[in-house]
Structure 1
Amino acid sequence: MRKNKPRIHITVNSVRALLPSPPNTKTFDWDDEVRGFGCYRTSGGDVIFVYQYRMPYMSARRARIGVWGEMTPSQAREIAREWAVMRRKGVDPVEERRRMAQEDKAARDLIMSTYVTEYLARREREGRPVAKLHGQIMVRDVAGLMPDMRLDKMTDDDVEKWLDQLQTRSKSAKRYGLIYLKVLLNDAKARGRIDKSPADRFKVPDQQERDRVLSPFEIQRVIEACRDMHDQHGEVLECLLRTMRRKEEVAAMSWEEIDPETWVWTIPAERTKTKTRYAMELPAQVIAILERQQPDPMKRTGWVFSHDGTFSISTSTQAKDALDAHIHRRMELAFAAGQKPRRFEQWNFHDFRTTAATHLGEEPLNVRDDIIELCLAHSRSKDEVSKYQRAEKRSMVKVAFQKWNAFLDDLMERPDAWPGGRNMPRIGKGDLKRRRLELRQGWIKKVRPLRTGEVRGGRRNR
């Protein structure tokens, strides 16, 4: 500090009288009340408030407090007074201010909902976008269930409680939620945003293969219900069963993926779970369904299944709800026709693949296991791929699909099929819920995640 200039009490009037500092220098006025508190006017005319101090065994430091106009001299003095108290306690005000700024930044950037949004956007910018399904899990099950959780404050107990929430919905939700929480926390750790991941001590459960196989009786009711829906959702769901594909692959099918001469459907790698291109010759039964979507070959462009051509159709929860309600009605009609009462066990769309694979491997179809795997488009090791057998196996895959669809057609030609008749009207909206709930009595209830702003049990999800 300049000793030849007397200290003054810094006020509004003294600040107004302060002359601009010469270029490349700073001419200070120092306060007579708080030692180290001062101000100077820049050559441009701004008045800057500062606090100058020295920590033990360190050279003097000068910290900027603020600018006159944004704060008054009295306000700046109070900040300097606080910093003087910190210095006397051995706390460096500059370092503390830096620490608090980092804390504020972390409070904003390391909030789970913010971090997930930034992570997905960053992957998009880097040309490595996260798959749609994986992004949905991050948004719905990770950020959706703990939106305000800070990554650097997360504990083992927090992870455990969160996993318990997912477990109430399903084992699969718990497994995939943990996978993508680990992805996010490992990303934060690799970028130096957190020191360790509290998810490290939790082991991802082994994937449990579903063993739900629909019986011939159940397959009949499913196909009948698909037809009874009288809409594109029913057609998509029947295609799922007949092609053994995943629901996202069928729902987003486009005419450009289908060869109009051979009816070979080629699913690009980016639309398959294994990230490998897959081609299959569509069975005649599936071709008939597709032709109904657009009878005019000259207009076959864009999505195959779409309400307005803008978006592909969605195999949503509502579609499953409607299908279950129509299954319930057909089961009632089967019982009324003299068939023994049965229970339709809990199931989902992925069970179509298990059902098809199981029936193909048993009597009377007897398809080889390796051909069934090719029908399912499961990933294969290099040792399993042979260019010399490719033509033979493609023809055998085609035959397997023909056998499977013929098997389904035979089921629907049996006398116990179509109880109540082939042409049933669609169930009215007022009856859908009742029938759906009656079919699902005793099923394990899946808890839907809270939407933003929704209240469940007195707690609002933010």
Structure 2
Amino acid sequence: MAKAPITKRTVDAAKVALREYVIWDDGGKDTIKGFGLKVTPAGGKVYIYQYRLARPGMADKTAPRKYTIGKHGNLTPDQARNRAKELAAMVEMGIDPRQAELDAIGAKDEVKRQAESKAKLESELVFEKVAERWLEHYEAEKGRRPRTLEQARHIVKMRLEPALKGKPLPHITRGDLQGIIDAIPMKHRASRLAVYAYSSVLFRWAMERGEIADNPVRLMAKPSAPEPRKRVLHDDELVKVWEGVERLRDPYRAYFKLLILTGQRREEVAGMVWAELDRGTSTWTIPGNRTKNGMAQIVPLARTVVEELDRLALALKVKTELDEMDPKQWPKFGPVLTTYGKTVIKSYSKAKAELDNAIAKTFTEAGSLQAWRVHDLRRTLATGLQRLGVRFEVTEAVLNHVSGARSGVAGIYQRHDWKDEKRIALSAWATHVQRLISGAISNNVIELGARA
């Protein structure tokens, strides 16, 4: 075993051999036990420190361990010696230099990981960015109704984002979301329930992608659902609504008339396009991607409805100067109800507000109607059909409801489409409405066999 003081002279004099060897420090009183110079066959000269650690509670020590101090050239002998002294002091205190170095590297890596995690949280996982990615995913899925997509975006932008903007998704708690729901008045139960439902879908999507560990909505109490609405417009109220509608300009005038006479949902009527209509058979076919239950709906058109569509088609002809178009030939494409000519109407609140104002102006002395919603028109038609003696199954078919007679086992085996019965029912309803408007009847009900 070669021994010599580890000095510049010793290092420079060390010769390359066929095998690796070590010169251990031997400098008298300045000797550092375990300090040495390793010389490799390739000519490398490396300062090392060899040590043993005492085992806790035992007299013997662990097997020798080596710590590489550094290469000669990068370090001088004196610099290497000073480092060896530091390492010897650590061993004296029971500290493993190699493990300490590994711990330091690990701590450095952890600091780096935390910095990267923080940067990711602040750049990629803030609520508004994750929510926007979710909306893109949600809107890209097939079968979503426009109204559902519109509501999802409204909940995110108007309810969630104002309170959660800038906050990383993993840091959002049940308390944060509960605070948003609690801020919505109890009377707006539908809004509270919608915030809960869409939040659950959003956070579950993020959890499935590994962006959060758990869905904070999972253990939240579900808000109570709103009481089912029972509002039905009486005949005199329906007359007031119709006369208010007559004061409106298109497309809202035609929009409300079609709602009253067909009983279809507001989004379905508002989104009507000419390609869905067939004047020859007097039918309106709503494709499944525009209905609430995903099932295509065939709506027979009463004579009054056909006349209303003729009026719109003629107005379009005049506007576009299509002199060659037959007044009774409907366009082949484009929206039926449009404000700007290219897109369907979507301003439902504006339409309802204009109608309420028109009704108030028409019946100033009698006063305005009690609060009502557009959806109440569907309930009014359903109730009216029952008064006219229409079978429940036919009413369900008119409304495109998959419930009652059209659900469960009955829905599987009962494949009758009630096409003829629906036509008779809607024609009878249109006649009833027209007689109410003209004052031909008051509260009497016409016979079901009448046609409009």
TM-score (ref. length: structure 2) = 0.67
Deviations 1:347-379 (A, max 9, x none): 1111111111122223xx122222211111012
Q: 2:155 aligns with which of 141, 152, 157?
A: 141
Which residue in the other structure is 2:320 paired with? Answer: none
Which residue in the other structure is 1:319 paired with? Answer: 351
CA distance in 2, matches of 1:307, 1:343: 27
Which residue in the other structure is 1:5 paired with? Answer: 73
Superposition pairs of residues 58-457 of structure 1, within 5 angstroms = 60=102, 87=104, 92-123=107-138, 127-128=141-142, 130-147=144-161, 148=165, 149-167=167-185, 170-200=188-218, 201-206=220-225, 208-295=227-314, 296=327, 297=329, 299-332=331-364, 335=365, 341=366, 344-362=369-387, 365-379=388-402, 380-385=406-411, 390=416, 393-414=418-439
CA distance in 2, matches of 1:309, 1:144: 29
What secondary structure does 1:390 align onto?
coil
What secondary structure does 1:265 align onto?
strand
Alignment check: 8 A CA contact 2:232 2:383 kept? yes
Q: Which has the larger radius of gyration?
A: 2
Q: Which moved more, 1:147-156 or 1:177-186?
A: 147-156
Alignment check: 8 A CA contact 1:241 1:356 kept? yes
* Structure 2 portions without partners, runs of 5+: 1-68, 77-82, 87-95, 315-326, 443-452
Deviations 1:219-242 (A, max 9, x none): 111111111113211210111111
Alignment check: 8 A CA contact 2:261 2:430 kept? yes
Amino acid at match of 2:294: K
CA distance in 1, matches of 2:139, 2:414: 40
What secondary structure does 2:184 align onto?
helix
Tell me: higher relative CO, structure 1 or 2? Use CA pairs within 8 A at least 6 residues apart: 1
Alignment check: 8 A CA contact 1:265 1:282 kept? yes
CA distance in 1, matches of 2:192, 2:359: 29
What is the Cα-based RMSD across aligned positions, in Å?
Answer: 2.9
* Structure 1 portions without partners, runs of 5+: 9-31, 36-53, 62-86, 336-340, 418-462
Deviations 1:169-222 (A, max 9, x none): 722111122111110011111122112222122225346321111121211111
What secondary structure does 2:70 align onto?
coil
Amino acid at match of 2:389: N
CA distance in 1, matches of 2:169, 2:300: 48
CA distance in 2, matches of 1:117, 1:344: 41
Give the CA deviation at 1:161: 1.7
Q: 1:169 to 1:302 in 2, by over 3 A?
A: farther
CA distance in 2, matches of 1:250, 1:99: 54
Amino acid at match of 1:156: R
What secondary structure does 1:158 align onto?
helix
Deviations 1:79-99 (A, max 9, x none): xxxxxxxx4xx9711122112
| Equivalent residues, number | 336
Amino acid at match of 1:5: G
Amino acid at match of 1:373: E
Q: 1:350 to 1:298 in 2, by over 3 A?
A: closer
Alignment check: 8 A CA contact 1:137 1:177 kept? no
Q: Which moved more, 1:293-302 or 1:96-105?
A: 293-302
What is the aligned-residue identity percentage?
Answer: 24
CA distance in 2, matches of 1:241, 1:299: 23
CA distance in 2, matches of 1:106, 1:55: 35
Q: 1:146 to 1:307 in 2, by over 3 A?
A: closer
Q: 1:178 to 1:306 in 2, by over 3 A?
A: same
TM-score (ref. length: structure 1) = 0.66
CA distance in 2, matches of 1:400, 1:191: 50
CA distance in 1, matches of 2:350, 2:144: 26
Superposition pairs of residues 48-59 of structure 1, within 5 angstroms = 57=99
Deviations 1:242-266 (A, max 9, x none): 1111111111111111123102111
Which residue in the other structure is 1:440 paired with? Answer: none
Amino acid at match of 1:133: R
Amino acid at match of 1:257: E
Alignment check: 8 A CA contact 2:143 2:289 kept? no
Q: 1:55 to 1:328 in 2, by over 3 A?
A: farther
CA distance in 1, matches of 2:159, 2:251: 33
Give the CA deviation at 1:124: 5.2
